[in-house]
A and B are shown apart, each in its own frame.
Chain A
Amino acid sequence: MQNIMEFDEKLLDMLKIITTEGFRNAADGFSGMVGRKIEVSNPTLELVPLLTIPKMVGGIEDDAVGVYLRFDGDIPGQIMMVIPYQKALELSDLLMGVPQGATQALGTLERSALGELGNLCGSFFLNSIAKTAGASFRPSPPAVMVDMVGAILDIVVATVGGVSEHVLLVHANFTEGKRFVETNFYVIPDMKALHTLVQKNHAHE
């Protein structure tokens, strides 16, 4: 099995360009859904030790909303959107078209709306990658959870954990003007997908 750490700089740079474009597309979808101009900030792409993932979003014990989807196809993987609870209430106001501060709790309807937001951002992201890389994807329906950040991110750790000690983490934040929407968007391709990518890349050279 090819070592994941053998990723060369050129490939990483190329992936960075493709995924940044993907995030921009996801932000467009986000904007369309909430009716505000949402932009991407700090898109990153890096290999990280798996066990550090839950420490990446603020307090591990803080309440948050997670929207999770898996995608199969040429490059399988998973997408997780993590929104701090308070921000999720604000986003829910926008999504449901109610006055600011009206959403006090997340019921079935609000959760479903947030799930759709994650679904849409995920699809926009994947569509962009599909177009640039000529790959095809089949995303799963979104799963929504309201829980502690650590428990939400455990899902990513548990699914990757049996396979690798490192993950390629593609991450961005969404912002609205100067205000932070604080929505973390993670894309984690499966390790076997990375091997496909590395091979494809070598074939091109």
Chain B
Amino acid sequence: MNNPIGLGLGEKSVSRDPQDVLVAYGLGSCLGICMIDPLTRVTGLLHAVLPEHLNGLELEDPAHCGKYVDQGIESLLAAMLKEGANRGRIIVRMAGGANMLISPALTSAFDIGTRNIEKAHIVFKRLNMKILAEEVGGHQGRTVRVYVADSRMTVKLVGATEHDL
């Protein structure tokens, strides 16, 4: 359990190496979405930034296909299955989606965090996948770690210690 793999914005990673720890550092309004097949230990993490792709945007860099919650979840699921995960066994956990701006003048217009969470719920419902645990919303950033070795996901807030989700 000593090989941290940091995920940047819009990145995803799937691993079955028990040495690996998948990490999304400092999630604000972003979502850390984790999928685990406990039997095969195929473990994946996605660092999604925005709810969905808007029409008319520049073409995406394929390396960042996880940027959007909707596309990202589907591409993480596909990568999990490709690595040998069984769809029926996959456990989903997620954390993040905070509203970082606490200011009456600014808050409502920019609450991307809440929109990310809502989008994730819609997508998982459509995919008929249950979210086992989530720690979302609030006003604080989070670092998410997923330990491939024991299928554990932890959340750490600023100035606090890591706790299991």
Closest residue of chain B to A145 (Cβ to Cβ) is B100
Chain A residues 104 to 140 lying within 8 A of chain B, measured CB to CB, are: 140
- Complex Cα gap A55–B8 (Å): 8
Interface SS majority for chain A: mixed
Partner of A154, one of B8, B29, B58, B105: B29
| CB neighbours of A142 from chain B (8 A) | 103
Partner of B26, one of A140, A149, A161, A164: A149
Question: Would A143 and B103 count as touching, CB distance under 8 A?
Answer: yes
Question: Would B27 and A150 count as touching, CB distance under 8 A?
Answer: yes
| A164/B58 contact (C-beta < 8 A), A51-B9, A51-B67 known | yes
Question: Would A155 and B158 count as touching, CB distance under 8 A?
Answer: no
Question: Would A151 and B57 count as touching, CB distance under 8 A?
Answer: no
Question: Would B158 and A147 count as touching, CB distance under 8 A?
Answer: yes
- Complex Cα gap A1–B54 (Å): 15
A162 within 8 A of B: yes
Partner of A150, one of B25, B102, B106: B25
Question: Would A143 and B141 count as touching, CB distance under 8 A?
Answer: no
Place the interface of chain B in its size category.
Answer: 35 or more
Partner of B29, one of A59, A61, A149, A155: A155
Closest residue of chain B to A155 (Cβ to Cβ) is B100
Q: How many A residues touch B, CB cutoff 8 Å?
A: 34
From residue B72, how far is it (CB to closest CB) to chain A in Å? Answer: 13
A158 within 8 A of B: yes
| CB neighbours of A51 from chain B (8 A) | 8-10, 49, 64, 67
0/1 string, B21-38, CB within 8 A of A gives 1: 000011111100000000
| CB neighbours of B25 from chain A (8 A) | 59-61, 148, 150
- Complex Cα gap A140–B64 (Å): 32
Partner of B110, one of A55, A155, A164, A165: A155
Chain A residues 140 to 191 lying within 8 A of chain B, measured CB to CB, are: 140-143, 145-155, 157-159, 161-165
From residue A138, how far is it (CB to closest CB) to chain B in Å? Answer: 11
B41 within 8 A of A: no
0/1 string, B121-142, CB within 8 A of A gives 1: 0000000000000000001111
In the assembled complex, 29 residue pairs joining A and B whose CB atoms fall closer than 8 Å, in A order, are A51-B10, A61-B26, A68-B101, A140-B105, A140-B106, A141-B103, A142-B103, A143-B102, A145-B101, A147-B28, A147-B158, A148-B28, A148-B141, A148-B158, A150-B25, A150-B26, A150-B27, A151-B27, A151-B98, A154-B26, A155-B29, A157-B49, A158-B29, A158-B50, A158-B110, A161-B49, A162-B54, A165-B60, A165-B61
Closest 6 A/B residue pairs (Cβ): A150-B26, A151-B141, A154-B28, A151-B28, A143-B103, A148-B26
Given contacts A51-B64, A147-B141, A158-B50, 12 further A-B contacts (CB under 8 A): A59-B25, A61-B26, A140-B103, A143-B101, A150-B27, A154-B28, A154-B49, A155-B100, A157-B9, A157-B49, A158-B49, A159-B110
Question: Which chain A residues have a beta carbon within 8 Å of chain B's beta carbons?
Answer: 1, 51-52, 54-55, 59-61, 63, 68, 70, 140-143, 145-155, 157-159, 161-165
